[in-house]
Amino acid sequence: MNQTDHSTAPRRSFAIISHPDAGKTTLTEKMLLFGGAIQLAGAVKAKASQRNTRSDWMNIEADRGISVMTSVMTFNYGGCVFNLLDTPGHEDFSEDTYRTLSAVDSAVMVIDAAKGIEARTQKLFEVCRLRDIPIITFINKMDREGRDPFELLQEIEQTLALDTAPINWPVGRGRSFAGVYDLASNRVRQLDADPDGFIVDGPDDERVSALLDVPEKDELLEELMLAKEACLPFDLDAFNEGHLSPVLFGSALRDFGVRDLIDTLAEIAPPPQPQKADVRVVQPDEKGMTGFVFKIQANMDPNHRDRIAFLRVCSGKLTRGMRAKLMRTGKPMSINTPQFFFAQDRSLAEEALAGDVVGIPNHGTLRIGDTLTGGEDLVFRGVPSFAPEILRRVRLQDAMKSKKMREAMQQMAEEGVVQVFTPLDGSPTIIGVVGSLQLDVLIERMKAEYNLPINFEMSRFNVARWVEANDPAELDRFTERQKASMAKDLDGAPVFMSESPFMLNYEIDRWPDVTFSDVKDYQRQAE
């Protein structure tokens, strides 16, 4: 491994986002390979013996060839410490992705060269834009037949209203794809295993054209000249403001262009950025330790029933054994065994600085959205929970295990896998999810981790909204009148459930002083 001094090295915390099947997880594997974190990269869709991707470690992920959870990985490369977060591409797990984006300073957007901008890519991009997250674009699968590079750049500019600045250019495409040409340095690199490539005198250098057959040589020369003259040059300020995306071409599967990408991240990706809290903006170079929990993961180690809270350090230094104030309760807690993660593997973190992501083992003390500080009263904002789109009742096949099921459901809710609503009229618990695939994941995990076979029944409710009112008496009146449709979520916040959007709108009109919200901020005001 590239042995960077972890305590002084600059941080690069970034997420990888894309539409499903764009090659995001394969790219993650290859980046880890460069960081020396793994010896052999696995492919998501490979023969069983080769399908050993480190970021997709759950059974359901291996079976379906998709990511269903954000994986957190820390590695060293080129004098930087990278905190890489591989997010689920499938829209059914959008909440996990949104929460992850609150913990990063930049994002890599992976686009399939044949398909261009897809629906999910666009949605994730909009989230990045809301947060002003700078985006580096990686156009993947150049070794397959795909669309014209200029056409892809134009689509990014038109669809996302984002300027593009190509950093490298593909030498050939499809079967003739032979490497990438760095437009600024005139460096040609074929396979990523060759760290230096070779410098040429320009696009018309014979060593460039020698890589291609005759008909493609003239086309490449024309493209390179046009890319150098007509495309926007890279502008660091425009990139940091989220207006311009540097674009790189490559093939993660065949080891083309990945080294260019990771070098670009090391060179231009922003260091840890200031974070907004309820009372002020927290600067990363402050002495006092602050951070927030953006993800909870239970049972990563099935032998130990552990629960890991992932904390983004926003300022100061987190050290092993320190005591921190948990703002939700106002009580101190000891951080005895903070850990750096590499998918399932982990190592003890003696200290972590602003920009680092650490795992804190806990038994239900920490929740998503919690703020930890060295003592200062402040609460970080912006880790949302979204109203579910599917509501179901859980049916347990063995009634003797109902207590165990309640505990398991609570853990899954704290982890953010599902939302759990407890009706006020005493009827059975209702769970809420964004997409149906989450239900499959819940069934799989309840069986594998808790030995609880479950299935689902239809609920009479189809819509859920959090409710609040400026006048507490008005909220009490509403709750009393609608008792059969009211529930509490995990935090005890009141939730109104309705049979249909029409009935919801009817109640909204009837109760003008009650606010019905489809987004809930996890954080509470600092006391």
Instruction: List the structure tokens of 73.
Output: 């990985």
Listed in sequence order, the residues at least 6 apart from 505 whose beta carbon sits closer than 8 Å to its beta carbon are none
State residue 285 phi and psi, 5-degree precision.
Answer: -90, 10
Three-state SS string over 281-317 comes to EECCCCCCCEEEEEEEEECCCCCCCCEEEEEEEEECE
Same CATH topology for 275-373 and 384-521: the answer is no
> For the chain, how big is the Rg over CA atoms in Å?
25
Nearest to 138 by CA among 258, 290, 312, 52: 258
Q: What is the spatial distance between Cα 378 and Cα 522, in angstroms, rounded to a whole number?
A: 14
Give domain 14-71+89-268's CATH number out of 3.40.50.300, 3.50.50.60, 3.40.640.10, 3.40.50.11810. Answer: 3.40.50.300
Beta bridge partners of 71: 86
> Do 59 and 69 contact (CB within 8 A), yes or no?
no
Side-chain-side CA neighbours of 384 within 13 Å: the count stands at 16
Beta bridge partners of 16: 86, 108
What would the CATH number be for the domain defined by 275-373? 3.40.50.300
pLDDT at position 526: 35
pLDDT at position 59: 52
Residue-level length of the chain: 527
**Geometric angle at alpha carbon 491, from 96 and 379, rounded to 5°:** 70
Tell me the CATH class for 384-521: alpha beta
Q: How far is CA 256 from the centre of its chain?
A: 24
Q: What is the spatial distance between Cα 200 and Cα 187, in angstroms, rounded to a whole number?
A: 6
Nearest to 350 by CA among 320, 313, 318, 317: 320
- Enumerate the domain spans of the chain: 14-71+89-268, 275-373, 384-521
DSSP state of 427: P
Amino acid at 30: K
Q: What is the spatial distance between Cα 203 and Cα 219, in angstroms, rounded to a whole number?
A: 11
Amino acid at 230: A
C-alpha distances (whole Å) from 219 to each of 151, 228, 299, 326 are: 15, 14, 54, 61
Q: What is the spatial distance between Cα 469 and Cα 390, in angstroms, rounded to a whole number?
A: 25
Helix or strand or coil: residue 419?
Answer: strand
| 149-160 helix and 119-130 helix, angle to the nearest 10 degrees | 50
DSSP state of 233: P
Please state the pTM of the whole predicted model. 0.77
Q: Token match 């207590």: residue?
A: 403
> Do 430 and 392 contact (CB within 8 A), yes or no?
yes
> Do 425 and 474 contact (CB within 8 A), yes or no?
no
Residue ranges of the chain with per-residue pLDDT less than 70: 1-8, 35-71, 87-95, 298-306, 342-345, 382-384, 521-527
Q: What is the spatial distance between Cα 306 and Cα 526, in angstroms, rounded to a whole number?
A: 29
Q: What is the spatial distance between Cα 378 and Cα 326, in angstroms, rounded to a whole number?
A: 10
**Geometric angle at alpha carbon 492, from 489 and 498, rounded to 5°:** 45
Q: Token match 């460039």: residue?
A: 208
